[in-house]
């Protein structure tokens, strides 16, 4: 799959994307839809308001890492082939699951992820965003509404795009959390990158720590409310 989850091709210096980058516009006329995605190459997905200069383009290029921007807000996420589960959940306006309140939409999705992971000590964050060192740049450094934590460490990151027609919530859970991998791609001096990686090492956890080796994306589909009512796509 050449597409990047929720990505868009950008003209900003240092930020690009491939021609197959996922386009959110078709969702405007869709019913309930869940899309499970992966990437063919390592890719940093920036939030909608982040500057392209957040990532060192030269260092990323040498490492073979693409840089794209998603339509939703929040911090940067590093995706690698088969290293995480990424699910897009689209709910059209007027659907019983749709809410005009962004926090409520995020909580619905967080509860879905928590049911699917099914492990003890999981919590869905229902409050406002909690800033932390590096959370202005890296998604998994802090915790926002609807995001799922395990023993205080973030397991599922969420980001939202809303339109007149409905709401799209991106969800990402790493199999193993690697703070250094994303910190090393930032446009910061080496010492600063190392300090940031150390600061956020315990901010998140990979779900391999809390589910059995047989866990798969099918658990997400089974945990959907009224599973038969969803169109399911795999990217």
- Total structural domains within the chain: 1
The two tokens of residue 103 are 């926090």
Report the candidate in 83, 52, 85, 86 with the shortest Cα–Cα distance to residue 66.
52
Task: Report yes or no on 203 lying in a domain.
Answer: yes
In a domain, 211, yes or no: yes
Please identify which residue in the block is written with the tokens 């994306």. 217
CATH code of the domain in which 39 resides: 3.30.930.10
Q: What is the pLDDT of residues 97-154, one digit of tens each?
A: 999 999 999 999 999 999 999 988 899 999 999 999 999 999 999 999 999 999 999 9
Q: pLDDT grade, residue 7 (50/70/90)?
A: very low
Its domain, for residue 55, covers 7-234
Q: Is residue 1 part of a domain?
A: no
Q: Which pLDDT value is given to residue 24?
A: 82
Q: pLDDT tens-digit profile of 31-58?
A: 999 999 999 999 999 999 999 999 999 9
Residue of 44, 39, 92 whose CA lies nearest to 66 = 44
Longest dimension (CA), the chain: 51
State residue 25's pLDDT score: 83
The rounded percent of the chain whose pLDDT value lies above 90 is: 83
Give the pLDDT band of residue 22 (cuts 50, 70, 90): low
Domain membership flag for residue 2 = no
Residue 104 lies in a domain: yes
Q: What is the pLDDT of residue 44?
A: 96
**What pLDDT does 67 receive?**
94
pLDDT above 60 for 1: no
Given a cut of 70, whether residue 78 has pLDDT beyond it is yes
């Amino acid at each position: 799959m050449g597409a990047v989850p929720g990505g868009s091709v950008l003209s900003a210096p240092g930020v690009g994307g491939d021609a197959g980058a996922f386009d959110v516009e078709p969702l405007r006329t869709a019913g309930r839809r869940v899309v499970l995605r992966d990437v063919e190459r390592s890719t940093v997905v920036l939030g909608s308001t982040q500057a392209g200069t957040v990532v060192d383009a030269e260092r990323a290029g040498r490492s073979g890492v693409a840089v794209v921007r998603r339509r939703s807000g929040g911090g940067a996420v590093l995706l690698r082939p088969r290293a995480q589960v990424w699910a897009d959940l689209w709910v059209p306006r007027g659907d019983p699951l749709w809410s005009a309140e962004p926090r409520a939409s995020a909580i619905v999705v967080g509860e879905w992820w928590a049911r699917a992971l099914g492990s003890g000590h999981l919590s869905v964050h229902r409050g406002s965003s909690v800033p932390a060192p590096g959370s202005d740049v890296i998604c998994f450094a802090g915790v926002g509404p609807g995001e799922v934590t395990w023993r205080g460490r973030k397991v599922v990151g969420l980001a939202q795009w809303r339109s007149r027609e409905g709401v799209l919530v991106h969800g990402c859970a790493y199999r193993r959390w690697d703070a250094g991998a994303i910190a090393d791609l930032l446009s910061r001096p080496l010492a600063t990158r190392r300090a940031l990686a150390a600061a956020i090492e315990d901010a998140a956890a990979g779900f391999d720590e809390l589910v059995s080796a047989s866990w798969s994306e099918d658990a997400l589909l089974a945990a959907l409310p009224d599973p038969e009512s969803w169109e399911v796509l795999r990217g």
